[in-house]
Structure 1
Amino acid sequence: MLGVQTIGNATLIAYDGTPVLSTDPWMGRDHYAYFGSWHLPYNIPDNIREDVIKSEYIWFSHGHPDHLNPDSLNLFKNNKIL
């Protein structure tokens, strides 16, 4: 499958047969931003979450915690960070 899937907030997954690139992955309702005042209002389905984590590349557009989330960052130890 070649395409792009939106996840929510600013997270996108780009596919070229497999997940290649994910942007601004804020991954869970228990991953808070802005000193605990903001969290995702939805759960990311497991299969979509796995695709984000399997992406070869992860891109963070900027350093706000709803884009570069410290808790979510721990999930990407084996990915190439752009």
Structure 2
Amino acid sequence: MEDCPNTEFIVSGAGAKQRPLSSLQANSSFYQAGEVSGFFWIEIIGDTFYGAAYEVDTDGTPELVFERSFVRRGALAAQED
């Protein structure tokens, strides 16, 4: 985004209603899915962010479908000094 350089956003959910995505190319993203139930698991430990996306099938079983981790930018610069 032009207004928030070097910023990453997590947007999740459509209330309790599943909806299709109008376009997979509409927004730059690491992961996106429509018409699925699921949740994100997020941990921040020290300077490290870990996030995982799970989709949940009709019998309630979660399946890991995406994960990403990174170290806070300022922490990387401090380590290099």
**Same fold per TM (> 0.5)?**
no
Higher percent of residues as helix: 1
Based on CA coordinates, which of the two structures has the bigger radius of gyration? 2
TM-score with structure 1 setting the length: 0.27
Q: TM-score, normalised by structure 2?
A: 0.27
Bigger strand fraction: 2
